Amino acid sequence: MSHSDTPPTPGTPGTPFTPRASYHHGDLRTALVAAAEGLLADGAPLSLRSVAKAAGVSHAAPYHHFANLEALMAAVAARGFADLAAAMEGAHQPGDTAATLVGHCTAYVGFALARPAVFRLMFSPLLQRKPEHPALLAAADGSFEVLRRAAHAHVPEGGDELALAGWSLAHGLAGLAIDGALSAAPVSTMPPVQDLAAMLASRLLANLPVGRAAG
């Protein structure tokens, strides 16, 4: 963490810090999270000061919501997991458990392709500290639960194993794609990444028993 992430102190010792009116920015927390993700996407240096500048607020303003840079990054990652869960939920196919699982896989890869910087942050070492950040813990576990529910709908026995297999497939493919490794693979034909995701997910499911329909 940079020196600029040390909270500003009042001018008079023992006097509580009172924010100026200029610190108010509507939905400040959302603005800061969006600004931080924008800096991540640009590969720009990150500090609470740089995020405040990008959001157009005072350098002291972030401290109304975030104790330090890690807390802000946890919020960015939490929003990423929530958006990932929504993307997977949007691929739900009523009555077709296999199509739902394939859709989850392609949505997962599509999310990584669209927002690679936040995707990397979501699965950075920060994830190991999710118990320290309740919103991140809830969002990360919630996104996996979307896949887990779909897997159990398809194979009530062994659903957890299928969820882990599908997650491993989607996450591995997403990582290869955003790192540029797929484009260098020595294969004769490389389909678009989301088409490849659908094909591999379908093959994973091909030899599994058909589960009950999910409404």
- Domain regions of the chain by residue span: 3-67, 73-206
CATH no. of 73-206: 1.10.357.10
- The per-residue pLDDT for range 65-94, each reduced to its tens digit, is 999 999 999 999 999 999 999 999 999 999
pLDDT for residue 210: 56
Number of residues that make up the chain: 215
pLDDT at 4: 39
- pLDDT (0 to 100) of residue 213: 40
pTM for the whole structure: 0.83
Collect the ranges in the chain with pLDDT lower than 50: 1-25, 211-215
Q: What is the pLDDT of residue 189?
A: 84
Residue-level pLDDT at 187:
83
- Which pLDDT belongs to residue 188? 83
Question: Residue 48 corresponds to which tokens in the numbers above?
Answer: 């609470």
Distance between CA atoms of residues 77 and 116, nearest Å: 12
pLDDT of 15 reads 32
Provide the pLDDT for residue 9.
34
* Residue 62 contacts residue 51 (beta carbons within 8 Å): yes
CA distance 171 to 47: 28
Q: What pLDDT is stored for residue 183 in this prediction?
A: 83
